[in-house]
Structure 1
Amino acid sequence: MSDDSEFAESGDRLAVAKTYKLFIGGAFPRSESGRTYQVTDADGHFLANVARGSRKDGRDAVSAARKAFGGWSGATAYNRGQVIYRIAEMLEGRRAQFVDLLRDGGEGQPGPVVDAAIDRIVHYAGWTDKLAAVFGGANPVAGPFFSFSAPEPTGVVVAVAPQQDSLLGLVSVIAPIITSGNTVVVLASQTRPLAAVALAEVLATSDLPGGVVNILTGDPAEIAPHLAAHGDVDALDLTGAEGDLRTSLERSAAGTVKRVYAPPISDFGRVPGTVRLRAFLETKTVWHPTGALSLGGGGGY
């Protein structure tokens, strides 16, 4: 029998380099173009190969988000809250991994950043069953009517995540969008995508239905313009888009009359309020007559 020492770790062993894929419809496909790009640490050392998404991958992600929208928006507020809270539980269980990823990417204070991301998900999980009470209600009207307003999700949202804050920025964009029942296609940080793809692995093993969150890696300037003009996209979150890219995306969105949310780039770092929740909510108002009505000589209500 061979000696176990033959299989002992040696200093000349080559590590297995991982190729990170896209996250579309709950699955991890390679880019249809077959392209990848290298991600390096703060010192320029190789970390991983990452899929470089294309416009076709973007269209596939939009289709997956649209397919998932009916089930997710139709779920009870309680159910959505439980699912989102489960994401926080899963992220908490893999805290050490995310701290290492942020440290490798050169992001300062990775421990507090990961904790803040977890807390932010918990915060939004608690909002799911409060949206109707806070943003809806009965309206006073001068007439024999009841008038009620209720918030509803906008639909499929495309979001550009902050480029320098790969986890907290990503979570701050995704969580409020899905809290109200929207589905999202998010373009992760191009230079620091590893936390985003690791988060996709968390989402895939949580209770989140496939297609509710879709994560694309690559160059936002290549993918985002096609999504901004896509007829099946209902809204844009341009938190991570700057300069000429932001301007061009706003113009592209105008062609299909999309809702556009374009806050200051540092907006996501603030203590969560209600602005991001309201950004992708529509208000539906219903009128209903009250009192006796004459119906062919008889009485009715």
Structure 2
Amino acid sequence: MSERLSVLKTYKLYVGGKFPRSESGRVYEVTTRTSAADAAGKGAWLANAPLASRKDARDAVVAARKAFGGWSGATAYNRGQVLYRVAEMLEGRRAQFAREVAAAEGLPKSRAAEQVDAAIDRWVWYAGWTDKIAQVLGGANPVAGPYFNLSSPEPTGVVAVLAPQESSLLGLVSVVAPVIATGNTAVVVASERSPLPALSLAEVLATSDVPGGVVNLLSGRTAEIAPALAAHQDVNAIDLAGADPALAKELEVAAADNLKRVLRPHPVDDWTATPGLDRMTPFLETKTVWHPTGALGVSGSSY
């Protein structure tokens, strides 16, 4: 029996629930990361990843905006079910992701498997928060007068997310899951050096119940794509987790043009640590409603 040729995987972007190539047609080499490879300056070839352009970024924003109404309007319970479904699908491909994370981050297989398990658990953790965050952050406010005064958190809109550079899957999930758990939609720039686990995660999202456009994944040069997102007038917020200090400062200036919410980068020693609410609250806005008590409404109904 003759030897067969290997079928190499073609990685693509994930925009609007579809898998397009970059409109520029560009790709870049992704290599393994090991101590020996780092010493030599280059590891073994893994794949060619799409090199997204600013046009791809704009397309992703359009897709995210289109998906925002349906996703933000879904019940919190439903969003929790969807996030849990992502965890289920990722669990079914655990071995594949462990291999990809090991190659991407130069980790032993056992350590990579721990990272994947933590990423799965992170989806479950945020799934549980979708219908609880409003109870924690909202409430009834005491006022002087015959009124109910109620405050509730609402999603801010389209959030650009620069994924952490050194944690290709767990760090990525840790910054994306809280954004969509709270009803926002996301345009995500994957780790520049290690984008393959992120691009494979797109396949999990596409085969789960996440509506197309809720999460859009781009790979390429962070310094090329991020300024277009920071300056985009239809992006409401940006998470700078994957930006170096010089780039972060540049992006903050660009984001100020339309008063974007900015989550500044801060070092994370251990992505496996149980997260708090720090990545959910920056992308929520508080809506306060006044309602008369004991008065007749316009229709004549008693409240």
Query: Same fold by TM (over 0.5)?
Result: yes
Shift in alpha-carbon separation, 1:176–1:267, aligned structure 2, 3 A: farther
Matched residue of 1:150: which SS? strand
Number of the residue aligned with 2:130? 128
Aligned residue number for residue 95 of structure 1:
94
CA distance in 1, matches of 2:245, 2:295: 60
Q: 1:120 to 1:101 in 2, by over 3 A?
A: same
Structure 2: unaligned runs, 5 residues or longer: 38-42
The DSSP-based 3-state class of the residue aligned with 2:280 is helix
2:200 matched to which residue of 1? 198
Deviations 1:95-134 (A, max 9, x none): 0000000111234210110011000100000011112211
Q: Does the CA-based 8 Å contact 1:90-1:202 persist in structure 2?
A: yes
Q: SS in structure 2 opposite 1:255?
A: helix
Provide the alpha-carbon RMSD of the alignment.
1.8
Quote the Cα distance in structure 2 between the aligned partners of 1:70 and 1:83.
Answer: 16
Q: Choose which of 105, 108, 118 in structure 1 pairs with 2:120.
A: 118
Structure 1 counterpart SS, 2:186: strand
Shift of 1:14: 4.6
Q: Note if 1:30 corresponds to 2:21.
A: yes
TM-score, length-scaled by structure 2: 0.91
In structure 2, give the amino acid aligned to 1:168: L
Higher mean C-alpha deviation, range 270-279 or range 155-164: 270-279
Q: Which residue of 2 aligns with 1:275?
A: 278
CA contact (8 A) 1:242 1:265 kept: no
Query: What's the CA shift for 1:225?
Result: 0.3
Distance 2:104 2:122 in 1: 21
Q: 1:188 to 1:292 in 2, by over 3 A?
A: closer
Q: Which amino acid aligns with 1:279?
A: P
| Inter-partner Cα distance in structure 1 for 2:288 and 2:151 | 4
* Residues 243, 265 of structure 2: 8 Å contact kept: no
Q: Are 2:238 and 2:260, in contact at CA under 8 Å, matched by a contact in 1? A: yes
Distance in 1 (CA, whole Å) between partners of 2:145 and 2:252 is 41
One-letter amino acid of the counterpart of residue 287, structure 1: W
Q: CA deviation at 1:292?
A: 5.1
How much has 1:268 moved relative to structure 2? Answer: 7.2
2:40 aligns to what?
none
* Residues 81-92 of structure 1 mapped to structure 2, 5 A cutoff: 81-92=80-91
Change (3 A) 1:223 1:17: same
Structure 1 segment 1-301 matched on structure 2, within 5 A: 5=1, 7=2, 9=3, 14-42=5-33, 43=37, 44-108=43-107, 109-266=111-268, 269=271, 270-291=273-294
Distance between the aligned counterparts of 1:47 and 1:88, measured in 2?
Answer: 26
Q: Which ranges in structure 1 are unaligned for 5 or more consecutive residues?
A: none
The CA deviation at 1:30 is 0.4
CA distance in 1, matches of 2:269, 2:163: 12
- The AA in structure 2 aligned to 1:51 is P
Structure 1 CA distance for aligned equivalents of residues 130 and 9 of structure 2:
36
**1:41–1:106 Cα contact (<8 Å) kept:** yes
Q: Residues 126 and 267 from structure 1, CA distance in 2 versus in 1: closer, same or farther, beyond 3 angstroms?
A: farther
**How far apart, CA to CA, are the structure 2 residues paired with 1:153 and 1:292?**
31
- Distance in 1, matches of 2:141 and 2:254, equals 36
- Give the Cα–Cα distance (whole angstroms) in 2 for the partners of residues 250 and 115 of structure 1: 34
Aligned AA (1:41): T
TM superposition score normalised by structure 1: 0.92
Could you say which structure has the larger radius of gyration? 1
- Give the Cα–Cα distance (whole angstroms) in 2 for the partners of residues 125 and 14 of structure 1: 42
1:291 CA displacement: 3.6
SS at match of 1:260: strand
Do the aligned residues in 2 keep the contact of 1:159 with 1:236 (CA within 8 Å)?
yes
Higher deviation after alignment, 270-279 or 118-127:
270-279
Contact 1:107 1:165 in 2 (8 A): no
Query: 8 Å contact 1:151–1:281 — kept in the other structure?
Result: yes
> More displaced, 221-230 or 39-48?
39-48
Tell me the CA shift for residue 144 of structure 1.
1.7
What percentage of aligned pairs have identical amino acids? 65
Number of equivalences: 289
